[in-house]
Amino acid sequence: MIPLPAGVPAGVVVADALNADVACFPSRAAYRDVVAAFRNDGFELCADLCAVDYFTHPGRTLPDGVTAERFEIVVNLLSMSKRQRVRIRVQVPEHDCTIDSLFSLYPGTEALEREAFDLFGVVFLDHPDLTRILMPEEWEGHPLRKDYGIGRVPVQFKEAPGPR
Domain boundaries, the chain: 13-125
Q: What percent of the chain has pLDDT over 90?
A: 71
Q: Is residue 116 predicted with pLDDT exceeding 90? A: yes
Report which of residues 144 and 4 the model is more confident about.
144
Mean of pLDDT values over 27-47: 96
Determine the 3-state secondary structure of 120 from DSSP. helix
Check: pTM over 0.85? Answer yes or no: yes
| Amino acid 33: pLDDT | 96
User: Would you call 45 exposed, middle or buried from its count of C-beta atoms within 10 A (0-12, 13-18, 19+)?
Assistant: middle
**Whole-angstrom distance, CA of residue 94 vs CA of residue 145:** 11
The pLDDT, as a whole number, for residue 162 is 63
How far is it, in rounded angstroms, from Cα 131 to Cα 51? 16
What separation in angstroms does the CA of 73 have from each of 2, 70, 103, 125? Answer: 22, 10, 15, 14
Read off the pLDDT band of 18 (50, 70, 90): confident
Give the Cα separation of 142 and 21 in Å (integer).
33
Is residue 164's pLDDT more than 70? Answer: no
Mean pLDDT value across residues 13-20: 80
pLDDT at 160: 65
Residues 6+ apart with CB under 8 A from 82: 42
Confidence of residue 11 (pLDDT cuts 50, 70, 90): confident
Comparison of pLDDT for 95 and 149, the residue scoring more: 95
Confidence of residue 16 (pLDDT cuts 50, 70, 90): confident
Q: Is 125 buried (19+), middle (13-18) or exposed (0-12) by CB count in 10 A? A: exposed
Sign, CA torsion 143/148/150/151: negative
List phi, psi (to 5°) of 90. Answer: -120, 130
* Angular region, 144: left φ>0, alpha ψ -120 to 50, beta rest: alpha
For the domain 13-125, what is the CATH code? 3.30.460.80
pLDDT at 48: 97
